[in-house]
Chains A and B, each alone.
Chain A
């Protein structure tokens, strides 16, 4: 009788596959455009890229508010929040909380550990940690100062120095970059103006505020708030013992900012 049941179940399973809905909700890690962002992946999915900075510990709350106004006047708004910790050795822990539409809020934790040479991506729900090797030479590539527009598009770019202001308790240097997409460049009838204003703490060497306005995507404001200069708890940069560490491929598909100049 069991053989009969197993055979029947197999057929039913096949039928269920045949009858499955043509498009289901996005699975883990698959978000539709405009959804709250996932964890701080790196240039290769699952990897985090940031410039290691030592001797300047801090912890802060990073908020991002994005607003897009549609043609009919409707608006799309979303907000993301992350807790960021960096210790004196340059290790960074990011706790990113996001709420996929129709789902419960999720928190993903990444530990960027350039000392050990690994990035850990922690999933509090499954108590698993993905260990991803940080490719060597990344920091050197990031140190390259080539971060300016050039060539034909440089002519469409204006850079303004906004001086130094105190932003959220930190002295920050402001820069406003205005870039114009000429009419017809991407099929646009009229020129498109893109403005990005960044305030970077020279002490922490991270942006404390970024204001972006791009008609293609909307406006965005990123702020670093509740900034503390105290050394974070070292345990924050360790994978908890209750987690199962799984090794992941490292380095493959890694895209580095400034990669172009290396070619």
Chain B
């Protein structure tokens, strides 16, 4: 046993570098089956190590290709998963957007801002019979073809006086104060188009419907 321990260093070293056993070591291996088995094991292990080392250092094409392919497959699996998730997410996002745009709470009437007033209110002149010659603003008439109603009892325009239309947000109370008969109840301001004289005071009001508002927006954008 003592002899085996003395040969151990040389046995391992010679096996590691792949060199043949010296004469004295060979004689011992021939006489000692344990050391001979160890010698074979060490040589085989060292040979494998050398093979691996040579593959890496020499850049074995097949090994590199396998390595790259393995990495690519791994990345591709990850990408496909992400893409699939994103494609699943995109329709969800579109659906959410559609719900937002179509949801009742998105309607202006529900969110407190001005709305196309015809959805909520309608205007008329108090006591207007439609046939009587009692228009208060004879320049405009009881109701113009464009839907403008004259503000009751407003004096007529001066000769050569220009007018303009402003789009404003009116609370229902303002319409009542003007003298209109207002049908319907709205807690919110309503969008109206107001004909204004050169003195800046209102002369007629129109509550455009939604479609017409879109058309009118053309002018304001």
Q: Which residues of A contact B (CB under 8 A)?
A: 1, 3-4, 6-8, 10-11, 13-15, 17-18, 22-24, 26-33, 35, 37-51, 53, 62, 64, 66, 80, 121, 130, 132, 146-153, 156-157, 175, 177, 179, 181, 185-187, 192, 194, 196, 198, 200, 204-207, 210-212, 214, 216-217, 220-222, 248-249, 252-261, 263
Contacts and interface: CB of A to CB of B under 8 A. Distances in A.
Interface string B183-210: 0000001010101111111101010000
B31 interface: no
A98 B103 CA distance: 36
Contacts of A260: 135, 138, 140-142, 144
A222 B189 contact: no
Contacts of B112: 22-23
Contacts of B97: 10, 13-14, 17
A43 B141 contact: no
A117 to B, nearest CB: 18
16 contacts: A3-B86, A17-B101, A24-B113, A29-B220, A39-B164, A40-B164, A43-B146, A44-B165, A46-B165, A146-B139, A185-B126, A210-B197, A214-B154, A217-B201, A260-B141, A263-B141
B98 to A, nearest CB: 9
Which 7 interchain pairs have the tightest Cβ spacing? A29-B220, A260-B141, A46-B219, A3-B86, A10-B93, A186-B179, A7-B89
B96 A11 contact: yes
B145 interface: yes
Contact of A43 (B163, B189, B202, B219): B163
Contacts of A10: 89-90, 93-94, 96-97
Contacts of B176: 187
A42 B132 contact: no
B127 interface: yes
Contacts of B6: none
A17 B96 CA distance: 10
A130 B170 CA distance: 27
B218 to A, nearest CB: 6
B219 A14 contact: no
Given A43-B146, A186-B152, 15 more contacts: A10-B97, A17-B100, A33-B174, A39-B164, A45-B193, A51-B160, A146-B139, A153-B135, A207-B159, A212-B197, A212-B199, A248-B219, A255-B148, A258-B139, A259-B145
B96 A14 contact: yes
Contacts of B82: 1, 3-4
Nearest to A79: B200
A33 B169 contact: yes
A207 B189 contact: no
Given A46-B218, A62-B198, A32 B168 contact: yes
